[in-house]
């Protein structure tokens, strides 16, 4: 999956190529967002759902159907690819005004 993942991340970055992470303000700068072409937030801010893997594994035993128990939702600004690994920064969820992590 290394090749497809790298290509997918490169495609995502190309949707907002000038966007950068500002470590002083912990925000995205130079983004194409908000705009009709780009949307309300940078397409490089992605939401990731975390689940409890133990709950998932145990849910198979009694009923044979997997159950995902949501444990967290995080948003990440995808910064780039270094050595085949995706790099990014935790950021606010685009739909909230919560404090920075």
Is residue 82 in a domain?
A: yes
Q: How far is CA 53 from CA 47, 48, 61, 68, 90, in A?
A: 19, 15, 14, 8, 22
What percentage of the chain exceeds 70 in pLDDT?
89
Tell whether the model's pLDDT for residue 98 goes beyond 50: no
- Boundaries of domain holding 36: 2-91
Mean pLDDT of the region 31-39: 90
78 compared with 92, residue with greater pLDDT: 78
Residue 31 has pLDDT above 90, yes or no: yes
Residue 8 falls inside a structural domain: yes
User: Based on the structure, what is the number of domains in the chain?
Assistant: 1
Residue 42 in any domain: the answer is yes
What's the predicted TM-score (pTM) here? 0.77
């Amino acid at each position: 999956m290394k090749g497809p993942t790298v290509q997918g991340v490169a495609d995502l970055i190309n949707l907002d190529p000038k966007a950068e992470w500002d470590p002083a303000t912990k925000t995205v700068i130079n983004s194409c967002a908000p705009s009709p072409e780009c949307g309300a937030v940078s397409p490089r801010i992605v939401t990731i759902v975390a689940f409890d893997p133990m709950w998932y594994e145990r849910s198979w035993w009694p009923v044979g159907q997997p159950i995902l128990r949501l444990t967290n939702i995080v948003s990440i600004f995808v910064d780039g690819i270094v050595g085949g690994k995706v790099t990014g920064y935790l950021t606010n969820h685009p739909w909230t005004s919560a404090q920075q992590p």
